[in-house]
Chains A and B, each alone.
Chain A
Amino acid sequence: MEFQAVIMAGGRGSRMTDLTAKCPKAMLPVGNNPLIWYPVNMLERAGFEEVIIIALESSVTDIQKSLVSRGIKMKLDIVGIPDNEDWGTAESLRHIKDKIKTDILVVGCDLISDISLHQIANLHQAYDSSVTMLLSPLPDQYTDIPAPGIKSKKKTERDFIGFDEKGKRVLFLTSEVDLEETISFSKSTLKRHPYINIRSKLTDCHLYLLKKWVVDFLAENQRMYTIKGELIPHLVRRQFCRPKAQESEIPGNTPASLASQQDTKPSIHDFTVNNDSYSSQIIDLSTWIDHDGDMADCFHGESIRCYAHIQEEGFCIRANTLSSYCEANRQVPRLLSTLSPHKECKLIHPTAVVKEKSQIGQDCLVGEDVTVGEKVSIKRSVIGRNCTIGDKVKITGSVIMDNIHIAESCNIQGSIICSQAQLSEKCELKDCIVGHRQQIIAMGKFTNEAIIDVEKMMEI
């Protein structure tokens, strides 16, 4: 493929700070794999041979190690970004701009999907698109399920995305927080695109194919902070803007304009100029046209074009919030066989010891060296490595990370237990988060709480 792949793994997981305080987001375990393994795996399946990973400096070695240990054969180029500065995705991309030689594929480290990338790449190339994004109609269950931890007011982060008649081109993009009293369309835009279908049930998967010039443009615009927040909306809006270059071609009735333009920064349209005369000739000579009803040029002469591929089938989730992280863990066991077809994949690791009369559901994962006691029931859950689970424990819909000791008769529902935690007997946890190295006293009962490094909470 003629794309360079970039994975953005420098995020801090600001939507699930309870989990990411001790562990970088990219390394959070999902189905006993670090989160970053999923996008890397997706790229490998698509045939990429190299990938650039942007990660926090402190986590570079961890990532490298864990990926190699899981049999990733791709050439990994992991670029560290400073831990103490809060860089956005756009800044990160600017940081590696010298490595970018072709169009790029940018993907966040939190995308778990079984999509085959050629569909979106085909779309990108067929329409000579500037930006192609991946959208997915997420079922409500992924976002509406109650999140473990302290109940917080649910924030809506819906995107409103307007498509053309074919449902491919993106004509309108705004997120719910940016909405004002009215939404407004200019008549000239409507004249060229008289049909706009605005959908709000789609989730942006943060997988983008960007033209090389977009990276160049980004490099010049220091003020852009993130790809999703600023770059993409900017490009979507600029699609209908007339290039300024044309104005200066109109014989100068204002001689001053020429002079003033020379010292201003190049506008976005200057970046779109296609140096490849061959491909512009193809457009000139081709009779293909992307719209009907008028005699205008292909694409109406618009040089910036944004498209989106909507993944109607298959699995796709972004593990970027607590609830979606839990849901990802619940879904992944079903998915592992398709994600890594070559590796023999057993849900219960051969080294795990499960005693009699214990029931482990088909939708569970049990890691290496786990000991499970008698009469244990595990449903819709993921158990990490080196865990000890006592007798008569019930675990439902939960994530148990590595090296955790759970004493007898505990009942754990919909919770996340971080590594090295100790649960004493007869604990009852419902929709809770238990932090790193935390200990829960015997008979403790908790609902919707985050038991993390704050000592006060333990004393209660």
Chain B
Amino acid sequence: MAPKTKTSQRGEDLKQEDVLQAVVIADSFNIRFGPLTQKKPRALLPLVNVPVIDYTLNFLAAAGIQEVFVVCCHLADQIRTHLKNSKWSESSSTMTVTPVLSDGCLSVGDALREIDSKALIRSDFILITGDVVSNIAVQDIMAIHKKRREKDKSSLMTMIYKKAPIGHSTRCPEDDVVLAVSTQSEQVLHYQKTRQEKRLDMPVEILLDNTDVEIRYDLMDCQISICTPLVPQLYTDNFDYQTREDFVKGILINEEILGNTIHLHVVKDEYAARVSNLQMYDAVSKDIIRRWTFPMVPDQNFISTDKQRISYGRHNIYLSENVSLERGCVLEENVVIGSNTIVGSNTSIIDSVIGKNCIIGENVKIKGGYLWDGVKVEDHCMIDTAVLASGVIVYKNTTVNTGSVLAWDVKVGPDIVLPMLVLLMSEPQKDEFDSDTEEPIPEVTPVFGSKSKAFEYRASCGSDDDEEEDGIIQDTWGLKILSDDEDYDDIYSTDSEDDIDVDDGVDEADIELGDVDEHDVVMFYSELIDTLKRAKEENIGKDNVILEINSLKHAYNICINDVHRMVVKAVIDLPLSISKDIETTQVMNILKPQLAAQKSLLLNYIKSPEAQLDCLNSLEGFSEENKLVKSALIKIIHYFYHEDMLDEQVIFKWYKKEPHPDNITSHTAVRKQVAPFIKWLQDAEEESSDD
């Protein structure tokens, strides 16, 4: 662990270098934290009741850093005041922390150019963002870096990555990166953010020039790098470098010309994560509570200006002084509660952080909630995976749903259920570009309850470059697992096609034949659905629809049997897919008018006994994939029979058909289901023959 080696390590370093320096970029230059960062810079947002930047500074202090420059841009004064009042400005502090105010900075690049212009850097330094939580023993990596520098002057930077398997909770999807690294020298050869791409290409030279290359997708960026003093200079020389990604890519592209290299250091067992968005905020908070970040855990109370004690109990329950827990309230596990907070009776809290001076009412359920200081939650509320900033009031009987953020002083309720993923702030959003369109501020916003004071925040107003990405991240907060799975399947299926494409032609033809066929059928079906939809909307006559379907048939080269099946399926599918949440009992009520309307169309196709058989097979197949159809299968068949679209002989034939070996179970299930109808038919037939 870092602090144990602290004193001895620092002594050694003193001999080698005069001072160890670090640059902390205390701004993210983006709006991932939505409305929260409008009033407070991200570095000061409380993470388990401690401002984020204090984790970063503690990490640096533990590594024996003596001089830290904190570059602040957005709301810089607040950071300066915070640093002034922190333990770092006390005389006993081992580390001097100097804020560097620069309001004009718009990127990491600008910040480093600022550092360069002020000529603050004298030796190798640590570059870190002001929102990293870590307990890596960075002094060891610094030593490796310096050793390498002695041998190889071209090494500019050592980036620290942590091994994290895919799906690791602190692995930020936004920062997902694939690296190619030389095994022997640990030199980075290729750097690529994955983003939405499905295939990752790397130049072939990296293989030709290096005998042993590792392609790594099992790493996450710790956002900590050890830089030489040249790095800020290079940022100055290349004014188009905005981010570290730009820098790394620039260096790699120009490697042959300038001869600069970047190296990688992989840590395995230590902790590092960046609070880069709400998802990470959630993940890192949980890790802190579960003590992965030791020694930076809530009960260590490492902000020494604040002398309060925090007790640590079983199941990771941390309680500060003067917490009052009323009778019957349950703190299940992983809960942190700040001082002077009151929790009402029969309230249950799990996986949550609650700040100072909060008042939680009775019968409240909080799961995965992050309540900052002075939040008031009235009785019978439910809070699930949400951030409630200071001064928020949730009136009684209100449900705050997954992924919501309530910024400063928002009031919601009473008796209301907030939608999921809603971002609220207490003032209407000001448009940055034209403030002329100001509307009078209403006193209450009835959408969010009669006593509410809440306005929805939209991220798209920001001037950020990657808004779209932003949207994706925001959307997935709290729904992470779900969206991830979809993503996976999607890629998975396209991948197999891709692989066939690049095949060497061995059995390509055979496979592709099947593929194309299937693909065409799917395309045809979707076109068919569209045609029927439009026909309904625009009242296109039956003849024209038939004409269109026939031309589609030729366009996609679909055989007539398939057309029969598809038409039947589409006619049933369409109404069912439009209306949602249908009870199984209602299926027929919805279908009947539709089938009646499309009867002439169906009759046009389903004439011959073969076509009728196709129709039945199609129904059978469709019933397997659609529960609603399955429940109503017998009624649908009956309807078709009633409308003279199906002949009883054909139905008998279909009923007796030999099952395909692949789907015997479903085959028998369907037969069983329609058995009463068949019986009724047989009876009816016998009766009629009796007559």
**Which A positions have Cβ atoms within 8 angstroms of B?**
160, 162, 176, 179-191, 194-201, 221, 223-224, 230, 233-234, 237-238, 240-242, 244, 248-249, 251-258, 260-261, 264-265, 267-268, 292-294
| Given pairs A198-B212, A240-B495, 19 additional interface contacts (CB within 8 A) | A162-B215, A183-B202, A186-B200, A186-B495, A187-B194, A187-B199, A190-B178, A190-B200, A195-B214, A195-B216, A198-B215, A223-B507, A234-B506, A237-B499, A256-B562, A264-B513, A267-B511, A293-B218, A294-B167
Q: Are B211 and A223 in contact (CB under 8 A)?
A: no
Complex CA–CA separation, A198 to B214 (angstroms): 6
Chain B residue at smallest Cβ distance from A252: B621
Q: Are A185 and B199 in contact (CB under 8 A)?
A: yes
Q: Are A188 and B204 in contact (CB under 8 A)?
A: no
Q: Are B621 and A184 in contact (CB under 8 A)?
A: no
Q: List 27 A-B contacts (CB under 8 A).
A: A160-B207, A181-B204, A183-B201, A183-B202, A184-B201, A186-B491, A187-B194, A187-B197, A187-B495, A194-B165, A195-B217, A199-B211, A200-B211, A234-B504, A234-B506, A242-B493, A242-B495, A244-B514, A251-B621, A254-B522, A255-B562, A255-B617, A257-B517, A264-B511, A293-B165, A294-B165, A294-B167
Q: Are A256 and B211 in contact (CB under 8 A)?
A: no
Q: Does B441 sit within 8 A of A, measured CB to CB? A: no
Q: Are A254 and B218 in contact (CB under 8 A)?
A: no
Q: Does B565 sit within 8 A of A, measured CB to CB? A: yes
A257: contacting residue among B210, B215, B521, B666, CB under 8 A: B521
CB distance from A89 to the nearest CB of B (A): 15
Q: Are B521 and A254 in contact (CB under 8 A)?
A: yes
Residues on the B chain within 8 Å of A268, using CB: 507
Complex CA–CA separation, A257 to B513 (angstroms): 10
Q: Does B496 sit within 8 A of A, measured CB to CB? A: yes
Complex CA–CA separation, A240 to B495 (angstroms): 9
Residue from the set B200, B202, B215 with the largest chain A CB neighbour count within 10 Å: B215
Q: Are B183 and A293 in contact (CB under 8 A)?
A: no
Chain A facing B: main interface SS: mixed
CB distance from A358 to the nearest CB of B (A): 44
Q: Are B511 and A244 in contact (CB under 8 A)?
A: yes
Complex CA–CA separation, A292 to B268 (angstroms): 14
Do A241 and B213 contact each other (CB < 8 Å), given the known contacts A160-B207, A257-B518, A264-B514? no
Do A191 and B521 contact each other (CB < 8 Å), given the known contacts A233-B504, A240-B495, A251-B624? no
CB distance from B209 to the nearest CB of A (A): 10
Residues on the A chain within 8 Å of B618, using CB: 255
Complex CA–CA separation, A197 to B211 (angstroms): 10
Q: Does B503 sit within 8 A of A, measured CB to CB? A: yes
Q: Are A185 and B200 in contact (CB under 8 A)?
A: yes
Complex CA–CA separation, A293 to B219 (angstroms): 12
Chain B residue at smallest Cβ distance from A231: B506
CB distance from B616 to the nearest CB of A (A): 12
Q: Are B518 and A180 in contact (CB under 8 A)?
A: no
Q: Are B506 and A183 in contact (CB under 8 A)?
A: no
Residues on the A chain within 8 Å of B666, using CB: 251
Complex CA–CA separation, A186 to B622 (angstroms): 33
Q: Are A260 and B617 in contact (CB under 8 A)?
A: no
Complex CA–CA separation, A221 to B504 (angstroms): 12
Q: Are A199 and B621 in contact (CB under 8 A)?
A: no
Instruction: Across the A-B interface, give the 8 residue pairs with the lowest CB-CB distance, nearest first.
Output: A293-B165, A194-B218, A194-B217, A182-B201, A251-B624, A196-B215, A190-B217, A242-B496
CB distance from B576 to the nearest CB of A (A): 14
Do A260 and B514 contact each other (CB < 8 Å), given the known contacts A188-B488, A252-B621? yes
Residues on the B chain within 8 Å of A181, using CB: 203-204
A195: contacting residue among B207, B211, B218, CB under 8 A: B218
Residues on the B chain within 8 Å of A224, using CB: 506
Q: Are A179 and B204 in contact (CB under 8 A)?
A: yes
Q: Are A256 and B504 in contact (CB under 8 A)?
A: no
Chain A residue at smallest Cβ distance from B498: A186
Q: Are A185 and B165 in contact (CB under 8 A)?
A: no
Q: Are B204 and A180 in contact (CB under 8 A)?
A: yes
Q: Does B492 sit within 8 A of A, measured CB to CB? A: yes
Residue from the set B507, B562, B622 with the largest chain A CB neighbour count within 10 Å: B507
Q: Are B212 and A188 in contact (CB under 8 A)?
A: no
Q: How many chain-B residues does the 8 Å CB contact rule pick out?
A: 64
Residues on the A chain within 8 Å of B517, using CB: 256-257, 260
CB distance from A230 to the nearest CB of B (A): 6
Q: Are B495 and A188 in contact (CB under 8 A)?
A: yes
Complex CA–CA separation, A224 to B506 (angstroms): 7
B213: contacting residue among A182, A189, A194, A197, CB under 8 A: A197
Q: Are A185 and B504 in contact (CB under 8 A)?
A: no
B207: contacting residue among A183, A188, A240, A261, CB under 8 A: A183
Q: Which positions 510-529 of chain B face chain A at CB distance < 8 Å?
A: 510-511, 513-514, 517-518, 521-522, 525
Q: Are B166 and A191 in contact (CB under 8 A)?
A: yes
Chain A residue at smallest Cβ distance from B202: A183
Complex CA–CA separation, A249 to B514 (angstroms): 15
CB distance from B627 to the nearest CB of A (A): 11
Residues on the B chain within 8 Å of A264, using CB: 510-511, 513-514
Chain B residue at smallest Cβ distance from A190: B217
Residues on the B chain within 8 Å of A267, using CB: 507, 510-511
Residues on the B chain within 8 Å of A244, using CB: 511, 514
B504: contacting residue among A187, A195, A201, A230, CB under 8 A: A230
Complex CA–CA separation, A32 to B439 (angstroms): 100
Complex CA–CA separation, A201 to B350 (angstroms): 55
Chain A residue at smallest Cβ distance from B660: A258
Complex CA–CA separation, A260 to B518 (angstroms): 8
Do A194 and B499 contact each other (CB < 8 Å), given the known contacts A182-B201, A260-B514? no
CB distance from A187 to the nearest CB of B (A): 5
CB distance from B488 to the nearest CB of A (A): 7
Q: Does B559 sit within 8 A of A, measured CB to CB? A: yes
Q: Which positions 622-665 of chain B face chain A at CB distance < 8 Å?
A: 622, 624-625, 660, 662-663
Q: Are B491 and A188 in contact (CB under 8 A)?
A: yes
Do A265 and B507 contact each other (CB < 8 Å), given the known contacts A187-B491, A293-B166? yes
Complex CA–CA separation, A108 to B152 (angstroms): 45
Residues on the B chain within 8 Å of A199, using CB: 211-213
Q: Are A187 and B215 in contact (CB under 8 A)?
A: no
Q: Does B11 sit within 8 A of A, measured CB to CB? A: no
Residues on the B chain within 8 Å of A238, using CB: 499
CB distance from B509 to the nearest CB of A (A): 9
Residues on the B chain within 8 Å of A260, using CB: 513-514, 517-518
Complex CA–CA separation, A182 to B197 (angstroms): 15
CB distance from A143 to the nearest CB of B (A): 13
Complex CA–CA separation, A343 to B218 (angstroms): 53
CB distance from A145 to the nearest CB of B (A): 19
Q: Are B522 and A185 in contact (CB under 8 A)?
A: no
Complex CA–CA separation, A185 to B660 (angstroms): 39
Residues on the A chain within 8 Å of B491, using CB: 186-188, 191
Q: Are B488 and A191 in contact (CB under 8 A)?
A: yes
Q: Does B198 sit within 8 A of A, measured CB to CB? A: yes
Q: Which positions 572-623 of chain B face chain A at CB distance < 8 Å?
A: 617-618, 621-622
A248: contacting residue among B213, B624, B662, CB under 8 A: B662
Residues on the B chain within 8 Å of A249, using CB: 662
Complex CA–CA separation, A307 to B505 (angstroms): 24
| Contact string against A for B residues 141-167, beta-carbon threshold 8 Å, 1 for contact and 0 otherwise | 000000000000000000000000111
Chain B residue at smallest Cβ distance from A220: B507
CB distance from A266 to the nearest CB of B (A): 9
Chain B residue at smallest Cβ distance from A247: B518
Complex CA–CA separation, A277 to B522 (angstroms): 36
Do A184 and B199 contact each other (CB < 8 Å), given the known contacts A197-B214, A240-B499, A292-B165? yes
Residues on the A chain within 8 Å of B502, using CB: 237
Complex CA–CA separation, A294 to B215 (angstroms): 19
Do A242 and B212 contact each other (CB < 8 Å), given the known contacts A182-B204, A255-B562, A255-B618? no
Residues on the B chain within 8 Å of A176, using CB: 208
Chain B residue at smallest Cβ distance from A265: B510
Residues on the B chain within 8 Å of A162, using CB: 215
Complex CA–CA separation, A405 to B625 (angstroms): 84
Q: Are A194 and B216 in contact (CB under 8 A)?
A: yes
